[in-house]
């Protein structure tokens, strides 16, 4: 068990398409899963967010991810076998560039086939936040990063600027001759509605 260094944006290993794991029930696989777990827990304790990590982020190019949502789960050789047509828009982050946030679109629901630590085939259906997390981590196994899926270049921002300008935008001072304010709920729906994919939603940033 060990806390491993997390590779950062620009490290070429993050762009490698990982190889399938073929040895199950081994000490090496157990060690990798424990290292992923310990590294995730350490990052979350220091940074305050984090639900999943992929093997290439700790410099191991095998198709293994570890998630901690309700219970800890290792997914080996995960493959998305179904995707919803419905999309969702959200701000995503990543251990490999923790100071950035990226707005992107993801499938609202997916079904994933994977193997457990003993090599037994399993499936999981996920929607919403869990769906996004699994898509994010499986992307890592293919050398794809969240920044590659940004809606456009204007939707890659520093976390500090997101907090300042998007999550908590400055309040404009109304002039004395301004029109009477509309009802608060209607004003929010009109003025703050983001540009979204059809049938999508705009949650708070989802930590990966």
Task: Say how far apart CA 198 and CA 133 lie, in whole Å.
Answer: 20
Number of structural domains, the chain? 1
Is residue 208 domain-resident?
no
**Which tens digits make up the pLDDT trace of 123-133?**
999 999 999 99
Is residue 63 domain-resident?
yes
Is residue 149 domain-resident?
yes
Is residue 203 domain-resident?
no
Here the CATH number for the domain that contains residue 97 is 3.90.45.10
Is residue 44 domain-resident?
yes
Beta-carbon contacts of 46 under 8 Å, excluding residues fewer than 6 positions away, are none
Closest by CA to 74, choosing from 42, 109, 119, 27, is 119
At 150, is the pLDDT very low, low, confident or very high (cuts 50, 70, 90)?
very high
- Which has the higher per-residue pLDDT, 191 or 35? 35
Is residue 207 domain-resident?
no
Can you give the pTM of this predicted structure? 0.82
The one catalytic residue in 137, 161, 163, 177 is 137
Q: Which of 157-161, 169-173, 179-183 is the least confident region?
A: 179-183
Provide the pLDDT for residue 171: 78
**Which tens digits make up the pLDDT trace of 36-81?**
999 999 999 999 999 999 999 999 999 999 999 999 999 999 999 9
User: Is 204 labeled as catalytic in the residue annotation?
Assistant: no
| Per-residue tokens: 133 | 């997390």
For residues 112-131, b (16+ Cβ closer than 10 Å) or e, as one string? bebbebeeeeeebebeebbb
The parent domain of residue 149 ranges over 12-191
């Amino acid at each position: 068990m060990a806390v491993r260094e997390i590779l950062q944006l620009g490290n070429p290993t993050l762009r490698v398409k990982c190889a399938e794991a073929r040895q199950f029930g081994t000490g090496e696989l157990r060690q990798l899963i424990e290292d992923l777990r310990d590294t995730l827990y350490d990052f979350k304790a220091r940074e305050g967010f984090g639900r999943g990590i992929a093997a290439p982020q700790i410099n191991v190019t095998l198709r293994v991810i570890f998630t901690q949502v309700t219970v800890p789960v290792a997914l080996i050789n995960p493959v998305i076998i179904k995707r919803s047509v419905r999309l969702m828009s959200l701000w995503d982050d990543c251990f490999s560039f923790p100071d950035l946030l990226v707005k992107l679109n993801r499938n609202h629901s997916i079904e994933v086939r994977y193997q457990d630590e003993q090599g037994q085939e399993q499936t999981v259906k996920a929607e919403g936040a869990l769906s996004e997390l699994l898509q994010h981590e499986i992307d890592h196994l293919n050398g794809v990063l969240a920044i590659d899926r940004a809606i456009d270049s204007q939707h890659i921002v520093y976390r500090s600027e997101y907090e300042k300008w998007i999550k908590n935008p400055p309040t404009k001072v109304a002039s004395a001759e301004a029109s009477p304010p509309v009802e608060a709920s209607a004003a929010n729906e009109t003025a703050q509605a983001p540009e979204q994919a059809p049938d999508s939603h705009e949650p708070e940033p989802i930590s990966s």
